[in-house]
Amino acid sequence: MFEISFGELLLIGVVALVVLGPERLPAVARTAGALLGRLQRFVASVKSDIHRETEAAGLIGLKSELQDAAQVFQQRLEAEMREVREASAQVEREIAAARGAPDAADLAVVEAAEEARQAALFAAAPDAPAPHPAAEVDENQLDLFGDSDPPAKSSRA
């Protein structure tokens, strides 16, 4: 930094001895050493502050880079999740269609075919007995499982 040789230091020491004298030279040397040490500590403190600030600036930049990367990753992940949900919904719709969930038109066709089959059976066998009529309901018998109201009791006066 300062290229001072040993000879130059010796010359400075001799001049200081002549100017200050042998009695004051040790006190001045001690004071100069203390000031020099204080200056070195101050320079080291400034260097560490500068170093810490540059590291903080670098860390802030690194932090922002990491946050940007995390946002990009989250957006990609959400897009993939959305695609998976859409594909899952499509598969569920295809499964429901494959199971043959009948719609109204299919039911009408099936009913018409069943009526035509029954009509053909009755036309082929005119002597066939009619289907069983509904069971006769006795008004006097109590219906335990029906939804109808029980018969009203007559009141005796």
Residue 151 belongs to some domain of the structure: no
DSSP state of 157: -
Let me know if residue 153 belongs to a domain. Answer: no
Q: Is residue 145 part of a domain?
A: no
Q: Which domain holds residue 42?
A: 6-123
Q: How far is CA 31 from CA 34, 37, 62, 66, in A?
A: 5, 10, 46, 52
For residue 68, what pLDDT is reported? 93
Residue 33 lies in a domain: yes
Position 137 scores a pLDDT of 62
Judged against a pLDDT cut of 70, whether residue 108 lies above it is answered with: yes
Give residue 9's pLDDT: 84
149 inside domain: no
**Residue 62 placed within a domain:** yes
> Within a domain: residue 36?
yes
pLDDT at 105: 64
Domain count, the chain: 1
